[in-house]
A and B are shown apart, each in its own frame.
Chain A
Amino acid sequence: MVLTFIDKTGASVLSALDTAGDFATLAGRTFVAIFKRPFDGKNLLNQFQAVGVHSLPVVILTSVAVSMVFAVQLAFGFRQFQAEGLAAQVEGLAIVRELGPVITGLMLSGRIGSAMAAELGTMQVTEQIDALECLATDPIHYLFVPRFLASIVVVPLLTVISIYVGFWGGYMILVGVEGQSAFVYSHEFYKLLAFRDLRIALYKALVFGMIIALVGCWKGYRTQGGAEGVGNAPTSSVVTSSLWILISDFFLTKLLLV
């Protein structure tokens, strides 16, 4: 009984290490492949469009919704002790430091990470990735690199847009509904912020972009088992990348705020 338990635990640990090693190897190969030739500009532009342009509505809508809800909560909370003026300051702090990058990261892991896993998963089970290999093309270079580059550029850009939209979401509630002065809101929103906060948000977005692309491509590339496997790949990709976004957010915040 004890031996069985040790046996099972050992097997689980080995399996987890195997999975982590596989991910690390593919991530390493992606970094190396960035500098390899030929450079496929058309493929990269297609990815910029898929990852960036098509994600814009989702990011805008979620940022507006989250910043408005947050403003409603702040206005209600601070009204309890007659400190409504602090609402705009806390709104600014929360949106720039946390809500902007994390909401963008989570939404994009659902939108583009899952799409990458599904696309590569389908290519894997229909032998299209083998066909790439047979046409003397490294799938990591052809499939991973453009998605990775598009993600690390686009996720920070969309985070900036999310922050900008978040400002207006808070504006609509605190100025439009709560009746605060527009001038005061605009001034107070940035009061607790420094340029460092935007830099931290962009660092976070960069890391989230890496996580989304690498996890999405990895899950797709390792798809097995036909339609069921293709169905599981996006789900697994979203869960894994969302989890890593939240875990890395904690460590990045601790690391970068010191």
Chain B
Amino acid sequence: MALIDVVNLSKAFGPKVVLSNVNLQVQEGESLVVLGGSGTGKTVLLRNIMGLLTPDAGHVAIEGKIIAQLKREELFKVRQSIGMCFQMAALFDSMTVFENVAFGLRRHLEISEEEVRSRVDECLSMVGMKGTDKLKPAELSGGMKRRVGFARAIALKPKILLFDEPTTGLDPVMTDVIGRVILDLKHELGVTTITITHDLKSAFEIADRIALLFRGECIACEPPDAFKANPHPVIQQFLRGDADGPFLQDPPPPKRKSQEAHP
């Protein structure tokens, strides 16, 4: 049985269909990367997995439990086994880094303050953020916030980690740092991960399988080598990063020749 089972998942907001009959299975310990253009429903997929949204049709099951059918207390129990890393980190801005990472530990585990401190230090070390525990989120850069968000997500030792565009808006060097941190977490913790990203370099490093969402549908879900070799024109266009092709709904403006631009 797959650890995460997404079955015929559909979700629409008003007339706009965001996900249509998406099927994905993620096995325990596996690392799935979900690619797709902006607005193709990648974040909506993660929010359905976390139970933050309710599917219009189909379902998401974690360890066989259908998320949308769980009572709130049961849902919270399942969520304790999932760590969610938000696109903009979503750190609690009234708390310090330490309090952010300790939040879940203090609320859900009956452990001493010493043990909390030791676990927070351990988590911050794993993401390369040791010594920042007294800082407030406003004092951190974008990349640092994301890493503190990772530390908060792994504090409760989850079985599953979900990363929502962890590198968006970061410079190429910090993007590489975040990619390495995700890779380290994957190897050190052995968790099951779903990562949504636009960064192909880290996607191919992290992924056991890569899925591509296109206009709400999952058009491919296969190992990185097979994904690269897939002849589907949308996949090939996405890998090339070319504006011309079937990927965009509205055709892009024609490419200017360099002589026309600079006569």
Chain A residues with CB under 8 Å of chain B are 38, 122-123, 126-128, 130-131, 133-138
Contact = CB atoms under 8 A, between A and B. Distances in A.
A131 B104 contact: no
Given A130-B86, A133-B52, A138 B76 contact: yes
Nearest to A119: B94
Interface in B19-67: 47, 50-52
B39 to A, nearest CB: 17
Contacts of A126: 88, 90, 93
Given A130-B86, A134-B50, A38 B93 contact: no
A130 B86 CA distance: 9
Contacts of A136: 76-77, 79-80, 104, 107-108
Contacts of A127: 86-88, 90
B50 A133 contact: yes
Contacts of B108: 136
Contacts of B103: 135, 137
B212 to A, nearest CB: 25
A134 B76 contact: no
A130 B92 contact: no
17 contacts: A126-B88, A127-B88, A128-B90, A131-B84, A131-B86, A131-B91, A131-B152, A133-B51, A134-B52, A134-B79, A134-B83, A134-B84, A136-B79, A137-B76, A137-B103, A137-B104, A138-B72
Interface of B: 47, 50-52, 72, 76-77, 79-80, 82-84, 86-88, 90-93, 103-104, 107-108, 152, 156
A131 B90 contact: yes
Given A38-B107, A138-B72, A133 B79 contact: yes
A134 B50 CA distance: 7
Contacts of A131: 84, 86, 90-92, 152
Given A127-B88, A133-B50, A134-B79, 9 more contacts: A127-B86, A127-B87, A128-B91, A128-B92, A133-B52, A136-B107, A136-B108, A137-B76, A138-B72
A123 B108 CA distance: 22
A126 B93 CA distance: 10
Contact of A135 (B77, B93, B107): B107
B52 A130 contact: yes
A127 B72 CA distance: 19
Contacts of A128: 90-93
B103 to A, nearest CB: 6
Nearest to A142: B107
- With most chain B CB atoms within 10 A of its CB, the pick from A123, A134, A136 is A134
A137 B107 contact: yes
Contacts of B92: 123, 128, 131
A134 B47 CA distance: 10
Contacts of B83: 134
Contacts of B107: 38, 135-137
Contacts of A137: 76, 103-104, 107
Contacts of B51: 133
A25 to B, nearest CB: 13
Nearest to A46: B94
Contacts of B152: 131, 135
Nearest to A129: B90
Contacts of B50: 133-134
A2 to B, nearest CB: 28
B194 to A, nearest CB: 14
A130 B90 CA distance: 8
A135 B83 CA distance: 8
In the A-B complex, list the 9 residue pairs whose CB atoms are closest, starting with the nearest. Answer: A127-B90, A134-B84, A136-B76, A131-B90, A136-B79, A135-B104, A136-B80, A127-B86, A128-B90
A135 B75 CA distance: 11
B53 to A, nearest CB: 10
A218 B77 CA distance: 26
A50 to B, nearest CB: 11
Contacts of A122: 93
